[in-house]
Amino acid sequence: MIGGRLKTAILPKLLTGARDGLPLDAIGATDSLQALALAAQALRFDRPPQPLQFQIEDVIADRATIMPDAARKLLIRLMAGKGQASLSAAIVRKLVERKLRLHPFDLPKLETFVKAHAEDLGAEALAFSEREKPVAQKQNYFAPDRLSDENWMLATPAVKAGYISGRRAIDPDAARALVEAVWKTEDADSRFRLLGAFRERLSEADAPFLTSLEKDRAPRVRALAQRLIVKLPGFEGSDPALREVLERIKVSKSGLIFKKTVLTLELPATVRDHTKRAWLNQAFGPIGLEMLAGALSLSVEAMIAAAEKQNDLLLAFFLMATQDGRLDVVEMVTDGHLPDAWALVDATDDEALADYNQDMRRAWVAHVFRPDRWGSDTTPWVIR
């Protein structure tokens, strides 16, 4: 009761400067200064009003083991530099493989790295990267080993694509049915990733679904569907990507007595040196080595020999061989035609190696990085 009197009857008058007419006897005070002190003490114990609603954050349960302290320090040092795209992808794969997660204290220090790979770094990293998003836009995280046919569609796009890829390896028809059931509710990025999983055990049974995507809203989804269609067994028809590449490859003959085939690539006028590799990857990536060689009426070996001294075309063959997992062709190109192929390696190769096992990765590195061919001016900084 005294606390209420202090706030309603005495404190307002004291704050306005009034000194007379205060009911000091009612609160047991002898003067206005003592009344002010009592009012201040009463306010200290006054409870604030109860909020109309509470915002309760979900508990983030990340069961992965926190990475060791020594690795934490090294990771922070590595990520402090620029141009670490390929290195970042390799680190993420290793963390997923070892079932490790970042220390919570390191998330702010590695914010750029975390935001770029949040979907693969675990529930805690995903929650940190989306802490400023509205609740309705936040994604759910499910560890890949806890997904099932009932809850897989609730995971992040990368995890969903990984789950479907795994299901395709076991039961392609069941995996396709799962994707078809949720296709209309997925956004363009998720549809593109899910469709990419169809590269696993592609068969004629996938043809109706792939054909239905010719009218998909996203151009890149339509383009990927077309690339998958031309790779179907028994496909008969024209491949737009192959047709465009063939229009830029000129076939000629050289030699006075023994005529040999010579291939020359004409690049678009808009392609510059710094964009050349990206164009080659985009133009030749959807086409397989065997398909291109067959269209040129050559074997793969003869096709590479015919491109001798055509570094742009040889680089395209190198990229295609890497994507197709043809390590014999990678060795052929780097050993006889592109001895400095290591200088052309960038983040796109790391993505192409994603499906390689450890032995294939070692073999690819051995073919590309040849220290016995490096000159005196080749340093680790140049290689990096």
| Cα 314 from chain centre | 28
Sequence letter at residue 323: Q
| Neighbouring-strand partners of residue 262 | 252
Strand bridging mode 260-265 / 249-254: antiparallel
Contact 329, 321 (CB under 8 A): yes
CA 350 – CA 70 distance, rounded (Å): 25
The pLDDT value recorded for residue 143 is 60
> Domain locations in the chain?
1-45, 65-137, 144-231, 240-373
Within 10 Å of residue 233's Cβ, how many Cβ atoms? 8
Q: What is residue 246's three-state secondary structure?
A: helix
- The pLDDT of residue 106 is 92
The owner of tokens 């990927």 is 224
Three-state secondary structure readout of 192-229: HHHHHHHHCCCCHHHHHHHHHHHHCCCHHHHHHHHHHH
Asked if residue 84 lies in contact with residue 92, where contact means CB atoms within 8 angstroms, the answer is no
Distances 93 to 98, 121, 217, 354 between C-alpha atoms, Å:
9, 9, 32, 9
Spatial separation of the C-alpha atoms in residues 121 and 303, rounded to whole Å: 43
User: Going by C-beta distance under 8 Å and a sequence separation of 6 or more, which residues neighbour residue 376?
Assistant: none
Cut 0.95: pTM above it: no
C-alpha separations of 125 from 24, 32, 129, 154, 251 in Å: 59, 57, 6, 17, 53
Distance CA 353, CA 358 (A): 10
Q: Give the pairing type, strands 249-254 and 100-101.
A: unpaired
* pLDDT value for 57: 64
Residue 258 DSSP one-character state? S
User: What six digits make up the tokens of 256?
Assistant: 């006075």
Q: Are 262 and 252 in contact (CB under 8 A)?
A: yes
Cα 225 → chain centroid: 20
Question: How many residues are recorded in the chain?
Answer: 384
Give CA angle at 130 (128, 135), nearest 5°. 125
* Cα–Cα distance for residue pair 375/206, rounded to 1 Å: 51
Sorted by sequence, the CB contacts under 8 Å of residue 109 that are 6+ apart come out as 76
Given a contact cutoff of 8 angstroms between Cβ atoms, the answer to whether 125 and 105 are in contact is no
Residue pLDDT tens, the chain, 384 long: 455 666 666 677 676 666 666 666 566 666 777 777 777 777 777 777 788 877 666 667 777 899 999 999 888 888 876 656 667 877 888 888 888 999 999 999 998 888 888 878 888 888 888 777 776 566 666 566 677 888 888 887 878 888 898 899 899 999 999 999 999 999 888 898 899 888 878 888 998 999 899 888 888 888 788 878 877 877 666 677 788 888 899 988 886 667 788 899 998 888 887 788 888 888 887 788 888 888 888 999 999 988 888 888 998 898 888 877 888 988 888 887 776 666 666 545 556 676 677 788 888 888 887 766 666 555 443 344
- Say how far apart CA 199 and CA 195 lie, in whole Å: 8
CA-CA-CA-CA torsion sign (151, 153, 158, 164): positive
Measured distance between the N- and C-terminal CA atoms of the chain, rounded to whole angstroms: 76
Rg (CA), the chain: 32
Torsion-angle region of residue 127: left (phi > 0), alpha (psi -120 to 50) or beta?
alpha
